[in-house]
Amino acid sequence: MREFRPGQRASVTKTISEADVYAFAGITGDFNPLHVDAEFGRRSRFGERIAHGMLTAGLISAVLGMKLPGPGGIFLGQTLQFLKPVKFGDTITAEVEVISYRSEKRILTLRTSCTNQRGEQVIGGESVLMVDPDEN
């Protein structure tokens, strides 16, 4: 049976491109002009277009699904606090850290965060997953 210990960590890093934002908009149907209209973005409080918050949060899913706990994990819950905007060209590191593991229920709780290339936290939160003891 797999075991998880508090403090275990994993991360992924990705630079958010204009193509990523347009692909996400196309997949989800979220064409909010704040994300896809340069003129609208210039007039916004941010002074430019920003990436979808859920696109950035999706990087947390990549860590959970591919690294820790890895393939076979099933989301039971996720909290997210969107702390700062992510701009086109920002390099985001999504990191997860094990808080606790209830082996009898196979429930894993992890602290989740995304930070930009300046070390500023852009998303904070927590994930709860059920893990299959037979998966790697």
Instruction: Kindly tell me if the per-residue pLDDT of 136 is higher than 90.
Output: no
Its pTM stands at 0.92
Report how far apart, in Å, the C-alpha atoms of 5 and of each of 109, 115, 123 are: 11, 23, 23
Going along the chain from its start, the domains and CATH numbers come out as 9-130 (3.10.129.10)
Task: Report the distance separating Cα 90 and Cα 92, nearest Å.
Answer: 6
Task: Report the distance separating Cα 97 and Cα 126, nearest Å.
Answer: 9
Structure confidence by residue, pLDDT tens digits, 4-59:
999 999 999 999 999 999 999 999 999 999 999 999 999 999 999 999 999 999 99
Instruction: Kindly tell me if the per-residue pLDDT of 1 is higher than 70.
Output: no
